[in-house]
Amino acid sequence: MGSAAGVGFLLLSTLGYAASHPRHSGDALVRLLWCLAPLAATVQLAASSTRTDTGKRSLSALDAAGVGPGRLPMLAAFTTAVPCVLGSAAALLAFLHLRGGPDSVPFDGAAADVLSAHRPLPVGAVLLLLCIAPFAAASASAFTLRPRPARRVRGARRGDASAGSAGDREPAVPAPLRFACDDRQVPTPSGLPWGAALTAIGITVATLSRGSSEDSQRSELLPLPGTLEGSPPGVLGGWLLTALGLVLAGPGLTHLCGQLISAGRPGALRLLSGRALQEEAGSVGRPLGVLCAIGSGTLAAVEAYGAAPDDGTRVFGPLTAIGAALILCCATASALTAVAEARAARAPATTILLRLGAPRSLLRRAAALRGAVLVTVLVALTCLVGEVAALPLSRSAG
């Protein structure tokens, strides 16, 4: 709800800007495009919280009550849409209030200049913009729970039906006493090479495009919520590629951390810790990659723009701050949700381990070990990518 409110507020501010600067339509468009980032973060949060909410526990009960897999997406979409609509309504209230509404309470019209209060806004556009966040979030929720056709596993019984391989009839007395394993490999996340390549390309593109316009002045520094005119779009593209690469590399990186932990001849602690991380790589890795990308992007932005001498124009306006805080909060919440989901998914394994007599302290230490390794690797990577991505900008600025 909060994120929907934030997105709605930002969209309305953009609308206000567009209404008050009818000539700078390109500028307004770029501002609108910048709103896509918080919107994407909101959608991701909605999807991941939906996935966690409808865990395996309630599905069979709902199915028994008549809400099967076919109708479940509608339920999820509705569950997500209601708080988002409330959030949008709150955003509208806050927007009108800060802009200078009819009543006179504290902070009334406090941000009138930022929000371009002197221009009336088209009602249809306001409603349309406010509907974007709820609609996108609800669609994401429904899409997350879309019914997937059960995949047929070919050759699943190859091992113990060798006698009747023609598939015509079962043998009278099946005697599958010797098992032959088929050669299916354990799937490992495959995004790491792609992610690394994309990150490298992105950094290279950013550096090259900045280097080619070395003679340009500092005024070309990309204004954050501003226009692309006169600024190197290559830098922005490179940053986008870098972020995409980090997101892609997330699962593979998590898997690699797990492999590192359980490398060599591990005892129970390292074995359980590493294998759990490998198991969770698919679910936890992606949001962590997003968080990593956003973290490095923020770092690069702070490095580049913080280093630039300020000549009166505010680089970080209040709306930028709202957007950035929104993105960071959503990404963090998504990552935490994914961690909670992974924890819930690991609960049966934990029960089994406790039944086997594994001490609870061992399980706690295993969780702490994998958390520490993962955080260390990701923070190091974020700092590295952020620094490298900021290099071309800060060099030209200095």
Partner 1 sequence: MAAPPDDDVLWARGLHYTYDGSPALQGVTLGVREREIVSIAGSRGSGKTTLLGCLSGRLLPAGGEVWFDGVPVHTLGLGARERLRRDRFGWIGSEPELVPGLTAWENAALPLLLRGAGHRAARTAAHEWLDRLDIGDCADRRPAHLLQSQRQRVAISRALAHSPAVLFADEPTAPLHQADRLQALRTLTAAARSHGITVVLTSHDPTAASAVVGGPADRFDDSPAATLVDRTITLIDGRRTPPVATAPDPEGSAACSLSA
322 near partner 1, judged by CB under 8 A: no
Exposed, middle or buried: residue 308 (CB in 10 Å: 0-12, 13-18, 19+)? middle
Q: Which is nearer to partner 1, 349 or 388 (CB)?
A: 349
The answer for residues whose C-beta is within 8 angstroms of residue 128's C-beta and 6 or more apart is none
* Structure token pair of residue 2: 């909060």
Distance, in Å, from the CA atom of 145 to the CA atom of 131, rounded to the nearest integer, reads 22
CB 218 within 8 A of CB 398: no
Q: Which of 93, 352, 368, 380 contacts partner 1 by CB under 8 A?
A: 352
- Residue 312 backbone class (left: φ over 0; alpha: ψ -120 to 50; beta: rest): left
Q: Residue 155: which of 137, 167, 168 has the closest Cα?
A: 167
Report 101-160 residues binding partner 1 (CB under 8 A): 156-157, 159-160
Residues counted in the chain: 398
284 near partner 1, judged by CB under 8 A: no
279 near partner 1, judged by CB under 8 A: yes
Q: Which of 68, 176, 211, 318 contacts partner 1 by CB under 8 A?
A: 176
Q: Which is nearer to partner 1, 210 or 255 (CB)?
A: 255
Least distance to partner 1, CB of residue 353, Å: 7
Distance, in Å, from the CA atom of 305 to the CA atom of 361, rounded to the nearest integer, reads 46
Give phi and psi for 233, each to the nearest 5: -65, -20
Least distance to partner 1, CB of residue 181, Å: 4
177 near partner 1, judged by CB under 8 A: yes
Q: Going residue by residue from 250 to 269, which x/- string records binding to partner 1, judged by CB under 8 A?
A: ---------------xxxx-
Q: Which is nearer to partner 1, 107 or 179 (CB)?
A: 179
Report how many residues bind partner 1 under the rule CB under 8 A. Answer: 36
314 near partner 1, judged by CB under 8 A: no
Least distance to partner 1, CB of residue 152, Å: 16
Alpha helices in 228-359 (DSSP H): 233-261, 268-307, 318-355
Positions that interact with partner 1 (CB under 8 A): 156-157, 159-160, 173-181, 184, 186, 265-268, 271-272, 275-276, 278-279, 348-349, 352-359, 362
